[in-house]
Amino acid sequence: MNILQVIGRLFLDFLESIGEVVVFAIRTVFHILTPPYYPKVLLKYIVIIGYYSLPVVGLTAIFTGAVLALQSYTGFSRMNAEDSIATVVVIAITRELGPVLAGLMVAGRVGAATAAEIGTMKVTEQIDALVTLSTNPFKYLIAPRVLAGVITLPCLVLIADIIGVFGGYLIGVNKLGFSSGNYLRSTFDILEISDVVTGLIKASIFGFIITLMGCFHGYNSRGGANGVGVATTNAVVTASMLILFSNYFATEFFFTKG
């Protein structure tokens, strides 16, 4: 096999993988929209994805806000633009860092756990057992998780936004010497509703990507423990990459038109 054949084979495999993911996503959306619904299962995953991710997302947000304030001060003080620190922190957190960092943290925590759980169910025939018990695995396993991701990520990101801005505030007031009133005024004068809303829309997209990748790789895992391990790694890597890609396109769509 020559080099061109290898490249061609890899390209065809790549296209095939994209096709499989797209078909999986369409099936998932179809099963989210059509009955039967499993509200108790949905609630369970909202708690697992949302509530149990709060500590890691909160810690990430507060330190990101704090570091952003410190770094901005270092740079802006050279141009006598220290007053812009609060503005930079709130815009960066709500538009980009809140959704992206929360998405990446949740991808690591939830994407891996989802792929591992569904992958284990696959290799131990639990998914086959679901089918034989007249239960559609897409409706019972996949749809509630993906819907929970879409609903929960914006809530997490909203909390991350608040904590992240608070992290910047703590550093600005306690370490950099800003007055509390001035810092808050600078924060809220410049902040627009659309800054927050676009971040939340991105979060929903990221929630879809994270849970979909976890479910897709878990559902298609093969070959015992090794297969589950590969599926877990692939779920986290592909979800993280897709978050970064989709973030660029979402940013271009929301902020560069007109």
Partner 1 sequence: MSSNPLFKKIESYIKPKKKRSRTPTDVKIRLRNVHKKFYEKKVLRGIDLDIYNGESLVVIGGSGSGKSVLIKNIIGLLEPSRGSIKIEGQEVAHLNSRERSAMMGRFGVLFQGGALFDSLPVWKNISFSLMQSKKISSAEAYDLAVEKLNSVGLGGEVATLSPSELSGGMQKRVALARAIVHNPEVIFFDEPTTGLDPIMADVINDLIIKCSAELGATTFTITHDMHSAKKIADKVAMIYEGKIIWHDSVNNLNSCDNEYVQQFINGRATGPIKMKLQDH
Which among 107, 89, 110, 109 has a CA at the least distance from the CA of 98? 89
What is the three-class DSSP state of 5?
A: helix
Q: From the list 133, 181, 248, 258, which residue makes contact with partner 1 (rule: CB under 8 A)?
A: 133
Q: Which of 16, 20, 128, 189 binds partner 1 (CB under 8 A)?
A: 128
Contact segment (CB under 8 A) with partner 1 among 116-124, 170-178, 217-225, 250-258 equals 116-124
> Which of 84, 87, 126, 204 touches partner 1 by CB under 8 A?
126
Output DSSP code: residue 141: I
Does residue 136 touch partner 1 according to CB under 8 A? Answer: yes
Inter-residue contact 228 to 211 (CB < 8 Å): no
Maximum distance among all Cα pairs of the chain, rounded to whole angstroms? 70
For partner 1, give the closer residue by CB, 110 or 121. Answer: 121
In the complex, least distance from residue 211 CB atom to partner 1, rounded to whole angstroms: 17
- The single residue listed with the structure tokens 């995953």 is 45
Task: Please answer whether residues 65 and 93 qualify as being in contact, where contact means their C-beta atoms are separated by less than 8 angstroms.
Answer: yes
Q: What is the closest distance, in whole angstroms, from the C-beta atom of residue 183 to partner 1 in the complex? A: 47
Q: From 127-135, 147-155, 165-173, 216-224, give the range in contact with partner 1 by CB under 8 A.
A: 127-135
Residues 151 and 167: their CA atoms lie apart, in Å, by 25
131 touches partner 1 by CB under 8 A: yes
Using rule CB under 8 A, residue 124 touches partner 1 = yes
Relative orientation angle of helices 98-106 and 54-76, to the nearest 10 degrees? 140
Asked whether 210 and 111 are in contact (CB, 8 A), the reply is yes
Per-residue mark of binding to partner 1, 72-101 (x: CB under 8 A):
------------------------------
Region near partner 1 per CB under 8 A, out of 74-82, 117-125, 236-244, 250-258: 117-125
Q: By CB under 8 A, is residue 120 in contact with partner 1?
A: yes
Distance in Å, CB of 125 to partner 1, minimum: 4
The C-alpha atoms of residue 160 and residue 92 are separated, in whole angstroms, by 12
- 125 part of the interface to partner 1, by CB under 8 A: yes
Contacts for 21 with CB less than 8 Å, ≥ 6 apart = 212, 216
Nearest to 70 by CA among 177, 199, 212: 177
* Cβ at position 132, least distance to partner 1 in Å: 4
Residues that bind partner 1 (CB under 8 A): 117, 120-121, 124-126, 128-129, 131-136, 140
